[in-house]
A and B are shown apart, each in its own frame.
Chain A
Amino acid sequence: MSGLVDIVSQPLAIESGVFGLLVMVLVTGLTGAGRANQLAGWLSLTGLAALTFAAAIARPGAVAFDGTFAVDELAVFVKIVFLGSALLSVLAALGIRDGAMLRRSPEYHVALLASLLGMLVLASARDLVLLFVAFELMSIPLYVLAGFERKGEAAPEGALKFFLVGSVSSAVILYGLSFVYGATGSMSLAAIGPALDARHPLLLLGMGLAFGGLGFKIAAVPFHMWVPDTYEAAGTPYVAWLSVAPKAAGFVAIIRLYIDGIGPAVMMWVPAIATIAAVTIVAGNLMAIPQQNIKRLLGYSGIAHIGYLLMGLVAMSVSGVGMLLFYLVAYLFGNMGAFFVVQAVARTEQSDQIDVYRGLAQRSPALALSLLVFLLSLGGIPFMAGFWAKLFVFWAVVERGQYWLAFLGAVATVVALYYYLVVAKRMYIDAPTRTDAVRVPGVLLIAIFVCMAGVLVMGLYPDPWVAGAIQAASSLF
């Protein structure tokens, strides 16, 4: 066992594993003819399960390439998040047996693994160039995947929007980073803080631009426009993943650049981030209200959640970043779970409209209950993961003295609960239009069950999760 731990604790061990898996899936796709479609999915699933386990037992502390690539506690934590969410997404995707997935499943999995590889490298990158390259490795396959299921006109539109916005934001990030490099003369993140006063105009300009670009990636308002269209058009298991993992990656990049890079002088960024957080929370929640399509609704609610995650950043403290990480995990289970239920319902109903959820509680009580649990968790109701997540970020900003932001966040929660309850009303209060139960494939059932367990376990026993998140954050300060 200890030998195994040693191996997986090597720098780049997990990344090499994902790369190997990627090659295997690619080769399977090229040679396996008809059965390859099935095989690719199961291969990815097994490989990811093994790698998630490896990441979970890995020890932090490894460093490679002169400190350019560091596996600190934060990196280990988010790597587990990336791998775990990818695992759930692949599991749910196995439940799809038609359309593009039937014909070109290996392509899908290769692209997904490539993007995952980018995220994993990003989590450890402590160098501007590596950071950017990893970011692009993550982003480009995401654009491909967004247009993977080309049904109707919506998919190309959503994918293209995502691609255009994404490439522009990448360019903006790169432009910003070039100023930072120009000002400090070094590519290393560790060199930024000591080299320059945080108020140096070039640094301000560079970091500001980079924040704008990253804002697009995490979909903070006003950089959020691509989200609902992309979510609506793309395949649901992919969207479930897209709504969590790349956002987490964006936050890791922000944490690396600002907290790791600038150092204590980062406090001057607090008002700007607080403003963006407030605007994101309010706008995301308000725009979610009129939605008739549940994927768009979850898209807008996801934007609001980005605002809450930014609140954790506003605190700029161990507890703040720790709570941000805790929030990410809670959001992972709640949001992915909700999307999986949407996938299950859409499979039977061929529609993502909220209207098709009428009377779901009488048709499939368990499915309705799980969606209710996920939505209540997202809404921050006690005894679910989301409650602690919200509470902790509020607490972190109150400690920083930003009472107004906590207050705003708490009030906006009520707005969010309104549109979550509208879905609950459809499921529980309205009469069903048909009586047959929604049939759910076994793999999807497992995925939903895992998310449900995550939400409830975190909700009832948050202690170890909080400790883990705090420990991951403590390496930064």
Chain B
Amino acid sequence: MAHTLSTCTFCGVGCGLYLETAGNQVAGVYPSFSHPTNQGRVCVRGWHVHEVASSPDRLTSPLLKRNGRLQQASWDEAFAFIAERLAQIRERHGPDSIAFLNSPRCSNEESYLLQKFARTVIGTNNVDHGAGVYSNNSIDILLDMLGVPASTNSIAELAQSEVILVDGVNLARRLPTVAGAVIRAKLNGARLIVVGTRIHRVAELADLYLRIKPNSEALLYGAMAKVIEDRGLMDLAFIKSRCRDYEPFLSQLHTYDLVHAAEGCGVSADLIGAAALAYAGAKSAALLYSISMGEKSEQNIQALVNLALITGHLGKPGSGIYALGEQNNVQGVCDVGTLPDRLPGYAPVASSEARAAVEAVWGTKIPATPGLAARSVLANRGNGKVKALWTVRYDPVSTAFVAGVRESLRQFELIVVQHLFMSETAQFADVILPSTAYGEEQVSFTSSDRRIQLAAKVIDPPAGLTPVWQQLTRLARLMGADWNYSSAADVMHEIGEVVPFYSGASYDNLARDYGRQWPCTKDHPMGTPFLYARPGAHRPFKFVPVKPPPPFVAAPGFPLMLVCGNSLYYWNQNVLIRHSETLKREYRMLFLDYPEGFVELSVEDAKQLGIRDGEKVRLCAATGSATSTARVAAEVMKGIVYVPYFVRDVQEQVLGEPGLTHKLVPVRVEKEEMA
């Protein structure tokens, strides 16, 4: 037996935990007491994170499609096939006919090499991560407004926040360790403000719960900013010395009206005022949101950041913005450049200066045109231009927030899949390269609070399996590139050369304590627990005027609002959850109750419509209709019909078109009469 410190690979919190091994099996897992983030705690997913490695249904041999069927092949055959086909397709259709998508669960090293492979070996910027279909808007907004696309403060610092505002996310279910930090802060005297339509555990504990109508967040935060400005509670010194564009923001703010906003949000003006005063009056205040929610609009995030700027709640312990990722490495994957329009370190691909800096390290040209985003590749193959798709640990068929993925996959000429399991996407593959799992390789991940940490190799992988970064290296060499990485640490060394804020993050340094929070540079190798401690030379922060969003207008005959979103049910599709006995039971329970999926109704609406839980209902919109099973739930707000995104056929039939919509759609619910 042995016990090794590692990192939980479930969500972006990045809890420290120990893996216990017996022989070549991971026998147990338990949280680290001394890890600064989780301090001895971990959620139900962390308690079972070790079960994936021991799953009996792992893929152990490369598979190659022959005569329409996937058959076992040798590694040499598989690699030769991929190299030949990629070269052919590039020759025939150009480099931009090939696209690369990885999972936001991929390690920093494999993500870095994947984008390097795309950009240098193939010569395309068509590289994105799976969460890109919804989380890249947070990156762009934070880069634009704050200059750094990440949470500004450490999760452990929530203990020092006087006020905590939680926007939308059901923390207890989706980011439980953060929920715990919030609950304990509240027990120790912090004031808790929760915003969102659905009731959840943390909302029930809130001092102020603003149960607003869907999509009215931007209106609410604008109204709060208006109250703060009216009362003169803004931090003018902070605004003057550190922010730009206050004036245009202010003139836009003056179009907000508290009473009008109260009506639009569906909460009282008093409550909005109380939330604004609590937030502005605190010595330290934190804003929390999830970057992994498809239903979050740009304006929502911009309005949140404006709130932090107008009150100066940045640059102090426990005072800042928490952009929380629900996949363990959504932060790191973006940091190292798995983005179609940004290079490692977030410099824009379109900038020749930025390209030159990276080209100097790589010794190869980088194409100047930004690539296709994941949504475009998955929805319609970039209008049919993309012929080959490469996915790493990614299963868009079951997890992407995009409709029509199956149809797109059928039309690719080549699909390469690197995965542990025969996923639903893998069934469309022409080649599958099975790879090592958590616990079988040493790699690094970056948490939502910028902590770059090592996940340890504690057991040997099944015979023949290699890490994804090694497979990419082998293929790059086969296709003529001069890649010489002999360890994941080598890859991290190169990441440090192209990503300035990773320059001090050598494996030696990361192994010393519990990882390091970036910026972790050669000059500051101990890392940075919270950002903006020292005022910068110029004004780094920027206000963005946000127009009040238009109110929802119910159409005659369609009195309810249809909301499509991933909500908490997202996790039922996750690989770990599917492979852990306990998690499977806990997170897939609803599928036992509602095997054909469900749409959710509030208790009030259901009563009024005479619909009982479990009954068949018909959902009608102007654009179409669909039948489903009703789930009557207290957490759903009156007036809303909620459709989890994985019930795609219902969405498609009702909306008349595939795909995610931020719009609220007026609908009517009817009881479906039994035939």
- Do the two shown chains form a genuine complex with each other? no
B interface residue numbers (CB < 8 A to A)? none
